[in-house]
Amino acid sequence: MKDETVDVESPLHAEHVALGAALTSFAGWQMPLRYTSDIAEHTAVRTAAGLFDLSHMGEIGVTGPDAGRFLDYALVGNLSTLKLLGARYTMICAEDGGVVDDLIVYRDTEDTFLVVANASNHDTVLAAFAERTAGFDVTVEDLSPQTALIAVQGPRALEILRATEGLAEAGHDAETLKYYAAMPMTFQGEPVLVARTGYTGEDGFEFFLDAPLAPALWQAFLAAGEPSGLVPAGLSARDSLRLEAGMPLYGNELDRTTTPHDAGLGRVVKLDKVDADGNPLPFVGRAALEARGQSEPARVLVGLEGLGRRAARHGYPVKHSTAADAPTVGTVTSGAPSPTLGHPVAMAYVTPEVSAPGTELAVDVRGRFEPVRVVALPFYRRPR
Amino acid sequence: MTAELPTHLHYTVEHEWLDDGAPATVGITGIAADALGDIVYLELPAVGEEITAGAVVGEIESTKSVSELYSPVSGTVVEVNQAAVDDPSVVNSDPYGQGWLLKVEVTSTGPLLTSEEYTAQNAG
């Protein structure tokens, strides 16, 4: 934990202060926790739209003739096959298969990729990239200091994007932009990379742009979005939204002791990636992940629906039943009262025998065993 | 958005308030309610329960976190705010009024702060 007094301020810091946000120290940044009410911000994203400052995320540029090949080696995914302006969810693992970070990679040009890392892992990912570049004609550059990231998330995100003054689609049509794809736009004539990605379970867009331009775009969104019910939303709403959407958070569902398979995300590990001659491509963690993919899992990530009112929280033990002598069968990774569903929800690692949906278990909530039921993830799926 | 701190109440380092009534009314401060975020669940002691100053007597849960309620006094619980249990958002919206939590027949009090002392504690 870095000291609060040395936290980095977002390029939108003055906007947050002007809006009266409660600020929190997060991964070395001063970021808005909430502006008014966690639940109101959460609900706005589900029913209208929310505006998020994600400038704490780490943006890393990977450029050069070998950029795609380098990412194929450094990450578990098959990034050289990523289409121009495509986006992909992937992970960087250690040799032992443990997750170093989960990432979104965008391809700007044939030789230019943008890697977005979690704020808490930004330095670790940069260091791992530096270690893995040997033999590749590639340049890794930390773009985070000069890059702002703003997200508009919610069912009304598209109409807000269209109503935003100064934001031009530059010959592209945001409506036809596919989920997990990006396109160039301009704001006040300056380039903005727009991606249809997010971390809320709703439709939405994320906007990468030069930091000095960010306050003007933020204000333009607020002005354009007001009739649509857009509200600024903080990290607290972001966490409850991603939990309802069953999305993992590094430090909770994922960490160095977790493999992608443990988290139910074995699909991001591309063991079938090959070079131009059809030979299997080596990548960091390959041997361990190959073995892991073939073995029976020791634990499974599941959803838990609380049957009482007290919420399970990160780190609480999962018990086989509410009986006082019930054995521990797992650990909660994330949990909160779900604003959308009206009851507590949690994600937890449990032993495979008790992982089937419908299984009734309990969570030790500060000494009292609260009944829960295993349910399929996600807890919430947006209506289409 | 923090409500003005009433000067006629007593406070604890754990962010409870207490009035001079008989029975005395107990609640949590606006600072505590704001820090928790939207409160969604209250667990309070039963009427008739004997409580001890400084001991945990309940829980206050928000979307973001959970906090324990410490009793500022020793005595007997004579009433709990059922309206706040049913709709805990009143603790956020009116922490010193409709968001009160307990009424206690007090036998002794624990260490209490004045509003100035409580404000000073939370200034830094």
Q: Does A334 touch chain B (CB under 8 A)?
A: no
A54-101 pLDDT per residue, tens: 999 999 999 999 999 999 999 999 999 999 999 999 999 999 999 999
Which of B37, B41, B66 faces A34 most closely, judged by CB atoms?
B37
Q: What is the mean pLDDT of chain A?
A: 95
- Do the beta carbons of residue A49 and residue A226 sit within 8 Å? no
Which of B1, B34, B61 faces A337 most closely, judged by CB atoms?
B61
- Do the beta carbons of residue A104 and residue A79 sit within 8 Å? no
pLDDT of residue A247: 97
pLDDT of residue B73: 97
Angle between helices A122-132 and A67-74 (to 10 degrees): 110
Contacts of A39 (CB under 8 A, 6+ apart): A339, B38, B40, B63
Tell me the shortest Cα–Cα distance from A154 to chain B, in angstroms.
Answer: 20
pLDDT of residue A384: 78
Q: Does A38 touch chain B (CB under 8 A)?
A: yes
Residue A171 reports pLDDT greater than 70: no
**B1 pLDDT tier (thresholds 50, 70, 90):** very low
Residue A215 reports pLDDT greater than 50: yes
**B124 pLDDT tier (thresholds 50, 70, 90):** low
CA-to-CA distance for B28 and B12, rounded, in angstroms?
A: 9
Q: Are strands A204-210 and A230-232 parallel, antiparallel or unpaired?
A: unpaired
B87-97 pLDDT per residue, tens: 999 999 999 99
Read off the pLDDT of each residue in A274-281 and give the average, rounded to a whole number: 87
CA-to-CA distance for B69 and B101, rounded, in angstroms?
A: 10
Domains, chain A: 1-295 (3.30.1360.120), 300-375 (2.40.30.110)
pLDDT of residue A345: 98
Contacts of A18 (CB under 8 A, 6+ apart): none
**A2 pLDDT tier (thresholds 50, 70, 90):** very low
Tell me the shortest Cα–Cα distance from A262 to chain B, in angstroms.
Answer: 26
**A275 pLDDT tier (thresholds 50, 70, 90):** confident
Please judge whether A336 and B66 are an interchain contact, meaning their C-beta atoms are less than 8 angstroms apart: no
Q: Does A206 touch chain B (CB under 8 A)?
A: no
Q: Which residues of A touch B37 (CB under 8 A)?
A: 33-34, 37-38, 236
Residue B7 reports pLDDT greater than 80: yes
* Chain-centre distance for alpha carbon A357: 25
B67-119 pLDDT per residue, tens: 999 999 999 999 999 999 999 999 999 999 999 999 999 999 999 999 999 99
A220-269 pLDDT per residue, tens: 999 999 999 999 999 999 999 999 999 999 999 999 999 999 999 999 99
B111 prior amide bond cis, ω within 30? no
Read off the pLDDT of each residue in A102-126 and give the average, rounded to a whole number: 97
Residue A332 reports pLDDT greater than 60: yes
Domains, chain B: 10-109 (2.40.50.100)
Please judge whether B66 and A239 are an interchain contact, meaning their C-beta atoms are less than 8 angstroms apart: no
pLDDT of residue A43: 98
By residue count, chain A amounts to: 384
Helix (H, G, I), strand (E, B) or coil at A242: helix
Which of B1, B43, B63 faces A38 most closely, judged by CB atoms?
B63
**A276 pLDDT tier (thresholds 50, 70, 90):** confident
For the ranges A55-59, A165-169, B23-27, the lowest mean pLDDT is seen at: A165-169
Q: Does A337 touch chain B (CB under 8 A)?
A: yes
Residue A4 reports pLDDT greater than 70: no
